[in-house]
Amino acid sequence: MALVDAEPIVSRWSTHWPLGSSPAVSSVLDVLCGDVLESEGRERPAGAIVVGRDRIDSEALAHWTLYFPNGPRRGIGSIFFREPARLLARVTRLGEDAAARRAAFESLLASLEPIPWSRLSDMEVISLAMGHFGPARQAQALPLIEGALVTNAAAAAAASMLERGMAIGATIHAIAALGSSAAAAYSPAFRSLARISSDAFEELARRATERGIKTAGPFSLPVNAWVPTLAGNAK
């Protein structure tokens, strides 16, 4: 696993959760990134994709991030020129699709809210915390998640290359500009996802307190740690 410092990317992804990144939010972003990678036909890495407040697996996300932080290597054929063009095409398409993807996600939310938290099982709450809305609904959520994650990652990576004088031609400039514009179009719906995720973590913490289980707060634990915690088996 090739983890690299990627604070600009993780910061953009986590901005809609309280206080930004945290162990909880990093774990949610890890799950969501893996979901999108699998939807692309790529293998979900065995290790974590998003770690802490500022690290990502650069190999897993290279095609979203222009091989962040150093850009494509020059010595491997035409990849240095081909990959930015492919990413620009993807960012452009995601921007064009944003309204339809947002509408589908808003329809999902309308079918879900208000959420009857007290009637949900622990596992249902954990699923909502990680940005999963159940097998029947997740297909509507994933296009929105893809759009928000990929456009923000691409925009942040392109902006970083420009700041360091690594840009080649107009393509990187276009990715930075169109990526930011597309990300803004996805932002309201992704904020809603983050709100539901945050509410779910608050509910998990409430249940822990109700059961006499001590935690350091709703965002102190990665999402998969809540299963043993609520069962009273956390070490």
Q: Please say whether the beta carbons of 18 and 198 come within 8 A.
A: yes
> Structural domain of residue 87, as residue ranges?
3-230
One digit per residue, the tens of pLDDT, for the chain of length 235 reads 589 999 999 999 999 999 777 999 999 999 999 999 999 999 999 899 999 889 999 899 999 998 888 877 665 444 455 788 899 999 999 999 999 999 999 999 999 989 999 999 999 999 999 999 988 899 899 999 999 999 999 999 999 988 888 766 789 999 999 999 999 999 999 999 999 999 999 999 999 999 999 999 999 999 999 999 998 865 5
pLDDT of residue 73: 67
- Is residue 201 assigned to a domain? yes
Query: Which residues lie across from 228 on neighbouring strands?
Result: none
The answer to whether the pTM exceeds 0.85 is yes
Question: How many whole angstroms separate alpha carbon 192 and alpha carbon 170?
Answer: 34
First to last CA, the chain: 26
- Is residue 235 assigned to a domain? no
Query: How many residues can be counted in the chain?
Result: 235
pLDDT of residue 134: 87
User: Given CA atoms 137, 138, 143, 145 in this order, what sign does their dihedral have?
Assistant: positive
Residue whose token pair is 């600009």: 8
- Is residue 225 assigned to a domain? yes
Q: How many domains does the chain have?
A: 1
- Is residue 146 assigned to a domain? yes
- Is residue 87 assigned to a domain? yes
Please write down the HEC assignment for all residues of 161-194.
Answer: HHHCCCCCCCHHHHHHHHHHHHHHHHHHHHHHHH
Question: How many whole angstroms separate alpha carbon 227 and alpha carbon 235?
Answer: 12
- Is residue 129 assigned to a domain? yes
